[in-house]
Amino acid sequence: MTVQFTPGQLRAVASIAPETYRHWKKALPPLRRDRGHSPCFTSGDLLAVAVVRVLCVDLAIRVSALAALADALFERCNASPWAVLERGKLVFDIRHAQLQFQAEHANTSGESAIVAIPLRPIVALLRDQLLAGSESASQQELRFPPTPLVTPSTPTAARSRS
């Protein structure tokens, strides 16, 4: 069973505004997929949106420039668990609409301009965002320390009944 996230959770974890989500939904086909009555997103989708956020917000790349790579990005982010993905980087060749996943320390080279996005910091940020909202009162420190239970031996129990 996989955990599914609502659009509101996706926006909160990826730190994007509702207007940004609506715009990206128009520009990126994987966000437009018909998901039935209640749209749900996977953890891979969260990672893909966080990568799009880095590209668009931090690096000022227009989301429309990523449309040709969107399917490959979402597929790649959903193909492996975060523990595998965080040990690598995504290499975007936006001009030729190519995307590669490479080991974290692999040399990136090519004949055109590329953008390499290491996934470790993005995954760490997503984990922090998801765990920040999961603290609850049930996880607070106990008011009194745990005490070991001692089970009385059979002869003593038999004596106390008499």
Query: Mind listing the pLDDT tens digit for each residue in 9-36?
Result: 999 999 999 999 999 999 999 988 765 5
Look at residue 2 in the predicted model and tell me its pLDDT.
72
More confident of the two residues 144 and 115: 115
Evaluated on CA atoms 26, 28, 29, 34, the torsion sign reads negative
Q: Where do the structural domains in the chain lie, given as residue ranges?
A: 7-133
Evaluated on CA atoms 73, 66, 118, 99, the torsion sign reads positive
pLDDT over 70 at 143, yes or no: no
pLDDT over 90 at 147, yes or no: no
Helix (H, G, I), strand (E, B) or coil at 13: helix
Strand 98-103 versus strand 88-93 pairing type: antiparallel
Look at residue 96 in the predicted model and tell me its pLDDT.
87
Look at residue 139 in the predicted model and tell me its pLDDT.
47
Q: What is the mean pLDDT of residues 3-9?
A: 87
Q: Give the pLDDT band (50/70/90) at residue 148.
A: low
CA distance 43 to 14: 11
pLDDT in tens, 57-96: 999 999 999 999 999 999 999 999 999 999 999 999 988 8
Look at residue 105 in the predicted model and tell me its pLDDT.
77
Q: What is the mean pLDDT of residues 32-56?
A: 85
Residue 121's closest CA among 82, 92, 78, 71?
A: 82
Q: Go through the chain and tell me how many residues it has.
A: 162
Look at residue 160 in the predicted model and tell me its pLDDT.
53
